[in-house]
């Protein structure tokens, strides 16, 4: 028979081992040193094991709680484990499986959880890429938490979910409406996988019934870059927000990567920004090589937001990042300024800035490998196996050239896309003491430093 003193001396080994107590109860000592009270028995011709609970040395040798307060799976004293053993043996006398009873009680408890409680479990336990988890959590908090969080699982019907998606669409948020349906779908699948019998209300709703999307191929031309950034100066917004749009164009990053960017990711000595793998779509860290212009913009951010951990915090709280829609609203404002002048200008999104950079750099003759690395695109197939190069020096020089081109287009309105003066990658000079790849000599107005808005310049 075990004693509390003996239990306290048991330690983990290379394998799990058992120490017998009484009436079939034993302590299983796991490799980690955790002690689990267990009971082996046969019922209806089957051999089963009941995990009664985990030993807690702090509870002492005596019974701390009544049997009515105890349940399988709790942390227990030795005396409490013996009490639960008597409950299990009585179940067997009635021909009932104590393990099955334990599972059924857990399922009943799970079914009693609200949708909001299940959502919390989903976001904390589901295997998701961190960027996916963050995006879904944002959409859930913004669109579903208030309306569905307190509802029981069976109260969320397909009709109720569709009505909610339509309501989200009314504010012009078609993508979040579709995402909301998908999040409900995934949460209910998560619930069903844990033994809860419940209908999934999202399965009856096709995403196309909420909204359909056309594949986008929007890329700004050099003239459009000039028009837009000139118009942006007339939009009523913080000067740093206008700089943020340019910073994203210069660095070719995704919106979420910029919004969540923190100062501890920036190295001013090496002029690099290292985005951790947790925030990258491909799950690998990504280095952005910063042009002179990009560094100058960071200096402006630092002058304005030195107390914030984020490069550009939200409007009201320095400890929180920009909201997801802030930059898109700024782009809409710039386009509206142009249209009010009577000019036709197709709307675009923050993501289209990446496509713009890729399109114009390809047109200028830069290597697709360098451009794809700057975009942090994941290569697939045979090419991915054989091409492990990072092209650090080439990317640094290309991004400096890109910043110079953007400055030239903004200042002159030229439609000219300068060509790299090389016929192949090997011709580019990579000695850090020499200038980078040369822009064609007829490229007008190239500058190495941007003209910052007066409101920001005054702070530097």
Three-state helix/strand/coil letters over 224-249: HHHHHHHHHCCCCCCHHHHHHHHHHH
Kindly report which listed range (20-34, 110-124, 322-336, 374-388) carries the lowest average pLDDT score: 374-388
Question: Both tokens of residue 318?
Answer: 């320095």
CA distances from 425 to 203, 367, 383, 414 (A): 51, 7, 17, 27
Count CB-CB contacts under 10 A for residue 227.
22
Mean pLDDT over 315-320 rounds to 83
Asked which of 34-38, 76-80, 443-447 is least confident by mean pLDDT, the reply is: 443-447
Span 2-11, pLDDT tens digits: 998 999 999 9
What pLDDT shows up at residue 172?
78
Q: Check whether 368 has a pLDDT greater than 50.
A: yes
pTM over 0.75: no
**Of 317-326, 367-376, 392-401, which gets the smallest average pLDDT?**
317-326
Q: What interhelical angle do 174-192 and 115-125 show, nearest 10?
A: 90
CATH number, domain 222-457: 1.10.443.10
Is 449 a residue whose pLDDT tops 50? no
Residue 452 clears pLDDT 50, i.e. is over it: no
Whole-number Å distance between alpha carbons of 368 and 365: 9
Predicted confidence (pLDDT) at residue 430 exceeds the cutoff of 60: no
User: Residue 213 above 80 pLDDT?
Assistant: no
Per the model's pLDDT, the better-predicted residue between 143 and 67 turns out to be 143
The full 3-state SS of 46-107, as one line of letters, equals: EEEEEEEEEECHHHCCCCCCCHHHCCCCEEECHHHHHHHHHHHHHHHHCCCCHHHHHHHHHH
Q: What pLDDT sits at residue 253?
A: 93
Average pLDDT over residues 347-365: 93
**pLDDT greater at residue 317 or residue 393:** 393
Q: Domain 4-99 class?
A: alpha beta
* pLDDT one-digit tens code per residue, 66-87: 888 888 888 999 999 999 999 9
Assess contact for 262 and 310: CB atoms under 8 A.
Answer: yes
**Average pLDDT of the chain, as a whole number:** 84
Would you list the domain boundaries of the chain? 4-99, 115-210, 222-457
CB neighbours of 47 closer than 8 A, spacing ≥ 6?
Answer: 40, 41
CATH code for the structural domain at 115-210: 1.10.150.130
* 28 has pLDDT over 50: yes
Local confidence band at 278 (pLDDT 50, 70, 90 cut-offs): confident
Q: Is residue 192 classed as helix, strand or coil in its secondary structure?
A: helix
């Amino acid at each position: 028979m075990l004693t509390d003193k003996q239990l306290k001396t048991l330690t983990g080994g290379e394998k799990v081992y058992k120490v017998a107590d009484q009436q079939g109860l034993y302590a299983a000592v796991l490799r980690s040193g955790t002690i689990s009270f267990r009971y082996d028995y046969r019922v209806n011709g089957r051999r089963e094991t009941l995990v009664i609970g985990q030993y807690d040395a702090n509870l002492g040798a005596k019974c701390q709680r009544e049997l009515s307060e105890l349940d399988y799976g709790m942390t227990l004293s030795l005396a409490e484990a013996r009490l639960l053993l008597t409950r299990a043996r009585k179940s067997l006398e009635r021909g009932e499986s104590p393990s099955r009873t334990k599972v059924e009680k857990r399922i009943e408890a799970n079914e009693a959880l609200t949708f909001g409680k299940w959502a919390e479990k989903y976001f904390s336990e589901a295997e998701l890429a961190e960027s996916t988890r963050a995006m879904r959590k944002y959409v859930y908090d913004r669109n579903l938490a208030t309306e569905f969080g307190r509802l029981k699982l069976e109260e969320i019907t397909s009709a109720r979910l569709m009505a909610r998606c339509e309501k989200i669409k009314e504010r012009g948020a078609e993508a979040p409406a579709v995402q909301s349906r998908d999040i409900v779908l995934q949460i209910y699948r998560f619930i069903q996988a844990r033994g809860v019998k419940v209908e999934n209300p999202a399965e009856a709703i096709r995403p196309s019934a909420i909204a359909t999307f056309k594949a986008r191929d929007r890329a700004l031309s050099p003239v459009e870059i000039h028009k837009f950034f000139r118009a942006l100066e007339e939009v009523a917004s913080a000067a740093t927000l206008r700089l943020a749009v340019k910073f994203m164009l210069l660095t070719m990053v995704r919106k979420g990567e910029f919004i969540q960017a923190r100062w501890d990711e920036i190295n001013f000595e090496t002029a690099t920004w290292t985005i951790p793998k947790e925030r990258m779509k491909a799950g690998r860290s990504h280095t952005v090589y910063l042009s002179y212009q990009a560094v100058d913009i960071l200096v402006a951010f630092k002058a304005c937001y030195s107390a914030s951990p984020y490069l550009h915090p939200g409007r009201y709280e320095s400890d929180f990042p920009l909201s997801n829609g802030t930059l898109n609203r700024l782009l809409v404002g710039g386009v509206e300024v142009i249209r009010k002048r009577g000019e036709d200008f197709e709307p675009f999104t923050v993501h289209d800035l990446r496509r713009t950079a890729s399109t114009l750099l390809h047109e200028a003759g830069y290597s697709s490998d360098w451009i794809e690395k700057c975009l942090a695109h994941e290569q697939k197939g045979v090419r991915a196996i054989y091409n492990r190069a990072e092209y650090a020096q080439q990317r640094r020089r290309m991004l400096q050239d890109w910043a110079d081109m953007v400055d030239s287009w903004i200042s002159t309105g030229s439609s000219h896309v300068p060509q790299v003066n090389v016929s192949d990658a090997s011709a580019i000079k990579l000695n850090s003491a020499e200038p980078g790849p040369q822009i064609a000599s007829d490229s007008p107005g190239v500058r190495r430093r941007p003209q910052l808005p007066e409101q920001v310049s005054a702070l530097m």
